[in-house]
């Protein structure tokens, strides 16, 4: 089984490329979703309350993702420290889920396992990838797609600055998948990668 990491800037088309890999037969681990599940774990919730206070909880006792996002995403030293502290709570748990999902996929004879995790470099999960795809879209295309998802330009810039520089992500990649065209072009690019590296691989 090959493990494939998918990297790229905000709204570059990582999820869209991952969707194509899934159609081709890959199993996908969505780290954002795993991160959301962590926020429902009772022990993690208590650690979050101890660090961030009850102010990041809603009236039903659930972690409010928008409230937490406002505290951890930003340029100031306080924001950066808050994000690092949240990651100390979340990343080991997400990493554990990732390992379990990958082992189960291997046991089931899955051909390719995709790690969809924008933060996989700083979390260290990239080390387990056999291939890393970089989804390459211009800032203009990415901002347009983010605005269409009702983000503001400011939100886009703040989230982007919380991640590794695009050049760093690109350096980890062994395949660059252009995505300034339409979705059918993206599908062709991903299918070409699959044909070359996955479909013919014996392991």
Ligand X SMILES: CC(C)(COP(=O)(O)OP(=O)(O)OC[C@H]1O[C@@H](n2cnc3c(N)ncnc32)[C@H](O)[C@@H]1O)[C@@H](O)C(=O)NCCC(=O)NCCS
Ligand Y SMILES: Nc1ncnc2c1ncn2[C@@H]1O[C@H](COP(=O)(O)OP(=O)(O)OP(=O)(O)O)[C@@H](O)[C@H]1O
SS3 200: coil
**Positions in 50-79 near ligand X (CB under 6 A):** 65, 68-69, 72
Q: Interface mask (CB under 6 A) for ligand X, residues 78-117, using x and -?
A: -----x--xx--x---x----------------------x
Please give the full DSSP string across 53-110, using - where no structure is assigned.
-GGGB-TTS-B-HHHHHHHHSSSSHHHHHHHHHHHHHHHHHHHHHHHHHHHHHHHTT-
Residue with tokens 């089931």: 108
Q: Is 44 in the site for ligand X (CB under 6 A)?
A: no
CB 158 within 8 A of CB 75: yes
Binding part of the chain for ligand Y, among 61-69, 95-103, 165-173, 175-183 by CB under 6 A, reads 175-183
CB 190 within 8 A of CB 177: yes
Cα–Cα distance for residue pair 74/93, rounded to 1 Å: 24
Nearer to ligand Y, 36 or 49 (CB): 36
Q: Is 16 in the site for ligand X (CB under 6 A)?
A: no
Q: Is 161 annotated as a binding residue?
A: no
Q: Is 179 in the site for ligand Y (CB under 6 A)?
A: yes
Q: Is 182 in the site for ligand Y (CB under 6 A)?
A: yes
Q: Is 59 annotated as a binding residue?
A: no
Among 3, 5, 12, 115, binds ligand Y (CB under 6 A): 12
Q: Which residues contact 84 (CB under 8 A, 6 or more apart)?
A: none
Q: Is 48 in the site for ligand X (CB under 6 A)?
A: no
Which of these, 142, 130, 108, lies nearest to 174 by C-alpha position?
130
What residues make contact with ligand Y under the rule CB under 6 A? Answer: 8, 10-16, 118, 145, 149, 179, 181-183, 186
> Binding site for ATP: what residues are annotated?
11-16
């Amino acid at each position: 089984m090959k493990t494939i990491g998918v990297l790229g800037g905000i709204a570059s088309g990582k999820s869209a490329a991952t969707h194509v890999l899934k159609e081709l037969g890959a199993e996908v681990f969505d780290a954002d979703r795993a991160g959301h599940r962590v926020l429902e774990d009772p022990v993690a919730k208590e650690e979050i309350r101890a660090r961030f206070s009850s102010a990041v909880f809603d009236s039903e006792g659930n972690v409010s993702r928008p409230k937490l996002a406002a505290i951890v995403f930003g340029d100031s030293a306080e924001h950066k420290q808050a994000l690092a502290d949240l990651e100390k709570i979340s990343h080991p748990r997400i990493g554990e889920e990732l390992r379990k999902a990958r082992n189960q996929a291997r046991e089931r004879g899955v051909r390719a396992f995709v790690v969809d995790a924008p933060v996989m470099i700083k979390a260290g999960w990239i080390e387990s990838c056999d291939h890393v795809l970089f989804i390459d879209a211009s800032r203009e295309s990415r901002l347009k797609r983010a605005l269409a998802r009702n983000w503001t330009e400011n939100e886009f810039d703040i989230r982007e600055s919380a991640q590794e520089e695009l050049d760093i992500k690109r350096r980890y990649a062994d395949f660059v998948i252009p995505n300034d065209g339409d979705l059918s072009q993206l599908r062709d690019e991903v299918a070409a990668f699959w044909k070359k590296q996955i479909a013919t691989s014996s392991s």
